[in-house]
A and B are shown apart, each in its own frame.
Chain A
Amino acid sequence: MTDLSADPPVPPGSTRARPEAIRAVPLRHPWRWVSAVVVLIVLGAIVDTFATSSLHWSVVGQYLFDARIPQAAVVTLYLTAIAMVVGVGLGILLAVMRLSPNRVMAWVSWLYIWFFRGTPVLVQIFFWWNINTILPYLSIGIPFTHLMVQASTNTLVTPLLAAILGLGLNEAAYMAEIVRAGIISVDHGQTEAAQALGMRRSLVMRRIVLPQAMRVIVPPTGNETISMLKTTSLASIATVHELFFVQQDISNFNYRIIELVIVASLWYLAMSSVLTVFQYYIERHFARGSVRGLPPTPIQRLRRMLFQFHAAPPLGSAAEPDGEPWLPPAMPHSGM
């Protein structure tokens, strides 16, 4: 039996000396210097253009934390979150339907994806926002009777709901394809082994297939979330008070159009950066079981660097390790 987690031990009686480390003359890379100079020149030109334009950075600074802007950013964030929850939930349902042996379900799913992927999301939001013009009242009731609940579409479909419907239903079509790819990527032997244990289709999907599909589903879902963060700007057409709508609202008064667009862009950038960090850790979480040891996170790497710096052996010491040691993530928690 082999213990796969441990490194092979160095034989204690090993007498052969380690040969001297290679110290070769490094290769020159002149193009790296050339490209650096070119990039500096281009950057300088861009900065110069903006510096000599009539852009007022002070206005950018003034509005960056104007109470209305962070408030709008919060709306953008929760619109993103709700639209993604709708998209992921419905997307999983559509993917499972698409792969179902029930032909009707598979066909319905195909039709949904065809329609919602084939029309622009802006048009879809616009459609939901104006639904009241063709359906002034919505009612749910028992067919062929007079028992029903009725509501005015105008009060029911708020700007936010129109945006959630437009963004969420559209996203579901894309998520369905992502989830389907994930489900297909799981080895069929897994389903068979689960079935052989007496597990039913739904249980196999929930406990065995979907958890393994997550590794394939999560990275593109992160992309979709970041993409959604910016797509929510389209909700401005339904007068949702999100970031893009609010900055436009402000610049309509003070005509500082570019300054406010920069303010909005900085907020979008900051929020997508935070999401990128989340994405990294979520992907790491779902990689468990697929790799034997996870590579260290940037924070763990930083800690290790600091730790090793303190504990570095004196130069020329024989204890110098050969190569980067593969530390499992549990190890470098000392210090800090």
Chain B
Amino acid sequence: MATPMVRAEAVHKSFGRNQVLRGIDIEVAPREVMCIIGPSGSGKSTFLRCINHLEKIDAGRLWVDGELVGYREHGGRLHELPDREVCHKRSEIGMVFQGFNLFPHMTALENVIEAPVRVKREPVAAATERGRALLDRVGLGDRLDAHPRQLSGGQQQRVAIARALAMQPKLMLFDEPTSALDPELVGDVLNVMRDLAHEGMTMIVVTHEMGFAREVGDSLVFMDSGTIVEAGSPRDVIGNPQQQRTKDFLSKVL
């Protein structure tokens, strides 16, 4: 079997005395789409943020594409990676946030080409050309010069996806990408994500959209209070949950 894109082994994380993650084990294969569901406060978002080292894990091991996240193992000990290398690894992982977090002082196109130009040092002309194509692909080819505040929530989130894709990531993390959207705008964003999945992008999606999880997801994980309660194919977990906790949760969201 190929190297998993993401592998987590007994990942623990606390904020002060609050244990947010209590032993997460996960494996995500290349081209796989994994959806994570669970009540708020269950640690889904924190786990996602650990994968690109926005949060440091306290115990356990986390690998992306076969390399440890945030550390290097040498002589039987873990050494913290220098800032430069952490940033380089983050640049290979795209992340989409619940609150979009577009840069409000830049136009849609400037948002998209900022990182390719400043981080990857791509020539502006080449980055612009690719940025236009990406915005066109998410259905915003006519709003290149709009500032985020002139765009609807759904449009902003699609710009945010294009911005992440502009770095040509090998893995995309979605942190409740549609939770802040008006119901009628959710569809456009999910369509973009569905296309992305069909093109073979490896994706981990924290979501409350059961329809998306069932239709697009290859695997589904149900998390509660920092642990994985149940995992498997979306059809099984949603259609035939084994744990009482999962049944309770699903009965509320379906």
> Residues of A with Cβ closer than 8 Å to B?
1-2, 4-5, 187, 189-190, 192-201, 203, 207-208, 211-212, 288-292
Give the docked Cα–Cα distance between A291 and B147 (Å): 10
Contact B90 A196 (CB under 8 A): yes
Contact B87 A5 (CB under 8 A): no
Segment touching A, from B32-40, B61-69, B113-121, B190-198: B113-121
CB proximity to A under 8 Å, residues B135-186? 147-152, 154-155, 160, 163-164, 167
**Nearest chain A residue, comparing its CB with the CB of B91:** A198
Instruction: Point out the residues of chain B lying under 8 angstroms from A4, CB to CB.
Output: 150-152
Among the listed B150, B152, B163, which residue makes an inter-chain contact with A197, where contact means beta carbons less than 8 Å apart? B163
**Nearest chain A residue, comparing its CB with the CB of B106:** A289
Give the docked Cα–Cα distance between A190 and B104 (Å): 9
Instruction: Point out the residues of chain B lying under 8 angstroms from A212, CB to CB.
Output: 103-105
> Residues of B with Cβ closer than 8 Å to A?
52, 54, 83-84, 87-95, 97, 99, 101-106, 114-115, 118-119, 147-152, 154-155, 160, 163-164, 167, 188
Contact A288 B83 (CB under 8 A): no
**Nearest chain B residue, comparing its CB with the CB of A214:** B105
Instruction: Point out the residues of chain A lying under 8 angstroms from B106, CB to CB.
Output: 289
Give the docked Cα–Cα distance between A210 and B235 (Å): 48
B191 to chain A, nearest CB (A): 13
Contact A198 B88 (CB under 8 A): yes
Contact A201 B83 (CB under 8 A): yes
Say whether, besides A190-B101, A192-B97, A200-B84, A1 and B152 are in contact (CB < 8 Å).
Answer: yes
Most buried by B among A1, A201, A288: A1
A78 to chain B, nearest CB (A): 31
Q: Could you list 30 A-B pairs, sorted by A, with CB under 8 Å?
A: A1-B155, A1-B188, A2-B152, A187-B101, A189-B99, A189-B101, A192-B54, A192-B101, A193-B101, A193-B102, A193-B103, A193-B160, A196-B52, A196-B54, A196-B93, A198-B87, A198-B89, A198-B90, A198-B115, A199-B115, A200-B83, A203-B118, A208-B103, A289-B104, A289-B106, A289-B147, A289-B148, A290-B149, A292-B149, A292-B150
Contact A199 B52 (CB under 8 A): no
Instruction: List 16 other contacts, CB 8 Å, given A195-B87, A198-B91.
Output: A5-B150, A190-B101, A192-B97, A192-B101, A193-B97, A195-B90, A196-B90, A198-B88, A201-B83, A203-B118, A207-B114, A212-B103, A212-B105, A289-B147, A290-B149, A291-B149
Say whether, besides A5-B150, A200-B83, A203-B119, A195 and B104 are in contact (CB < 8 Å).
Answer: no
By Cβ-Cβ distance, the 5 closest A-B pairs, closest first, are A198-B91, A193-B101, A197-B115, A196-B95, A189-B101
**Nearest chain B residue, comparing its CB with the CB of A212:** B105
**Nearest chain B residue, comparing its CB with the CB of A200:** B87
Contact A189 B83 (CB under 8 A): no
B51 to chain A, nearest CB (A): 10
B114 to chain A, nearest CB (A): 7
Instruction: Point out the residues of chain A lying under 8 angstroms from B118, CB to CB.
Output: 199, 203, 207
**Nearest chain B residue, comparing its CB with the CB of A193:** B101
Contact A288 B101 (CB under 8 A): no
**Nearest chain B residue, comparing its CB with the CB of A206:** B118
Instruction: Point out the residues of chain A lying under 8 angstroms from B88, CB to CB.
Output: 198
Contact B119 A198 (CB under 8 A): yes
Among the listed A189, A194, A211, which residue makes an inter-chain contact with B105, where contact means beta carbons less than 8 Å apart? A211
Contact B99 A197 (CB under 8 A): no
Give the docked Cα–Cα distance between A127 and B115 (Å): 48
A200 to chain B, nearest CB (A): 5
Instruction: Point out the residues of chain B lying under 8 angstroms from A194, CB to CB.
Output: 103
**Nearest chain B residue, comparing its CB with the CB of A211:** B105
A156 to chain B, nearest CB (A): 40
A304 to chain B, nearest CB (A): 23
Give the docked Cα–Cα distance between A192 and B164 (Å): 13
Give the docked Cα–Cα distance between A192 and B55 (Å): 11
**Nearest chain A residue, comparing its CB with the CB of B116:** A197
Instruction: Point out the residues of chain A lying under 8 angstroms from B102, CB to CB.
Output: 193
Contact B103 A190 (CB under 8 A): yes
**Nearest chain A residue, comparing its CB with the CB of B167:** A197
Instruction: Point out the residues of chain A lying under 8 angstroms from B89, CB to CB.
Output: 198
Instruction: Point out the residues of chain B lying under 8 angstroms from A196, CB to CB.
Output: 52, 54, 90, 93-95, 164
Give the docked Cα–Cα distance between A290 and B88 (Å): 31
Instruction: Point out the residues of chain B lying under 8 angstroms from A2, CB to CB.
Output: 152
Give the docked Cα–Cα distance between A195 and B118 (Å): 12
Instruction: Point out the residues of chain A lying under 8 angstroms from B103, CB to CB.
Output: 190, 193-194, 208, 212
Instruction: Point out the residues of chain B lying under 8 angstroms from A193, CB to CB.
Output: 95, 97, 101-103, 160
**Nearest chain A residue, comparing its CB with the CB of B111:** A193
Give the docked Cα–Cα distance between A194 and B54 (Å): 11
Give the docked Cα–Cα distance between A5 and B164 (Å): 27
**Nearest chain B residue, comparing its CB with the CB of A188:** B101
B107 to chain A, nearest CB (A): 9
Give the docked Cα–Cα distance between A201 and B86 (Å): 11
